[in-house]
Copies of this chain bind each other. A is one copy, B any other.
Amino acid sequence: MAIEPFQILDEEGRARPDLAPDLPGEDHRRLFEVLLCTRRLDERMLLLQRQGRIGFYLGCTGEEAVAVASAYALRPSDWIFPCYREHGAVLWRGMPLGLFVAQCYGSRDDITKGRQMPIHYAWREANVASVSSPVATQIPHATGMAMAARLRGSEDVALVFFGEGSSSGGEFHVGVNFAGVFKAPVVFVCRNNGWAISTPASRQSAAESYAVRAVAYGIQGELVDGNDILAMVVKVREAAARGRRGEGPTLIEARTYRMGAHSSSDDPKAYRDPQEPERMKARDPLVRYRKYLAARGLWTEAWEAEIEERFAREVSEAIARTEKAGPPPLESLFEDVYAEPTPELVRQRQELAAQLGARRKAAAA
Contacts and interface: CB of A to CB of B under 8 A. Distances in A.
Interface in A183-210: 183, 203-208
Given A217-B206, A218-B206, A174 B169 contact: yes
Interface in A310-358: none
A173 B213 CA distance: 11
Interface in A147-169: 168-169
A306 B150 CA distance: 61
B203 A207 contact: no
Contact of A216 (B181, B216, B248): B216
Interface string A103-118: 0000000000000000
Contacts of A173: 168-170, 172-174
A177 interface: yes
A128 interface: no
A233 interface: no
Contacts of A169: 170, 173-174
A171 interface: yes
A352 to B, nearest CB: 34
Interface string A216-227: 111100000000
Give the one of A169, A181, A208 with max B CB within 10 A.
Answer: A181
A203 B215 contact: no
A177 B213 CA distance: 11
A88 interface: no
A36 interface: no
Contact of A174 (B170, B180, B217): B170
A47 to B, nearest CB: 38
A248 B181 CA distance: 29
A212 interface: yes
Contacts of A183: 206
A251 B221 CA distance: 21
A242 to B, nearest CB: 14
B215 A215 contact: yes
Contacts of A207: 180, 215-218
Interface in A283-327: none
B206 A248 contact: yes
Contacts of A204: 177, 181
A222 to B, nearest CB: 15
Contacts of A212: 215-216
15 contacts: A168-B177, A169-B170, A169-B173, A169-B174, A170-B174, A172-B173, A177-B205, A177-B206, A180-B206, A181-B203, A181-B206, A206-B217, A206-B218, A206-B248, A208-B218
